[in-house]
Amino acid sequence: MIGAVSGVCFAALAAGAVSVLIAPPRSLRLSSLGCAAVMVCLSYLSFRAATAGRTDESSFLRALWGGVGGALVGLLVVVVAYVLFRQGARAYLAHPVGLRFSQVTLGRLLLAFLFLGFGAGFAIRTRTGMDETNG
């Protein structure tokens, strides 16, 4: 369930980044292109975790700890961006996915990075049936 929900969220963000590249025929934005590539990869990993993930307790705990680590990384990114750029961080982080500055508050940005960081960490650390390692 966690993998499917985070996969949908990452796919929606990838669609937002692609729409910034396609809809208005402006100059190529490398930040949107990079964001779209990362979001497509994370969406794939999340859907793979949702469909082929192992359901034993040790695999779930491993993925859960990965999710907690991802949430901490998301929190760290928002805090560092806010310390370095203050209110400009909202524009730097929202513009590549097609959001306006006024749509993104610092609280929403913090929650988004916490949830998406958890989803990314969970999906990356989920073992699939095809994994051969036990460690």
Q: Is the pLDDT of residue 36 over 80?
A: yes
Structural Rg of the chain based on CA atoms: 16
Tell me the pLDDT tens digit for each residue of 50-74: 787 677 778 778 888 888 888 899 8
User: Does the global pTM surpass 0.85?
Assistant: no
Q: How high is the pLDDT of residue 128?
A: 65
pLDDT reported for residue 35:
82
- Whether the CB-CB separation of 21 and 53 falls below 8 Å is answered with no
Cβ atoms < 10 Å from Cβ of 74? 23
- Distance from CA of residue 13 to its chain's centroid? 8
H helix intervals, the chain? 2-22, 30-52, 57-85, 88-94, 106-125
Specify the residue for token string 């969406």: 43
Check whether 126 has a pLDDT greater than 60. Answer: yes
Span 69-91, average pLDDT: 85
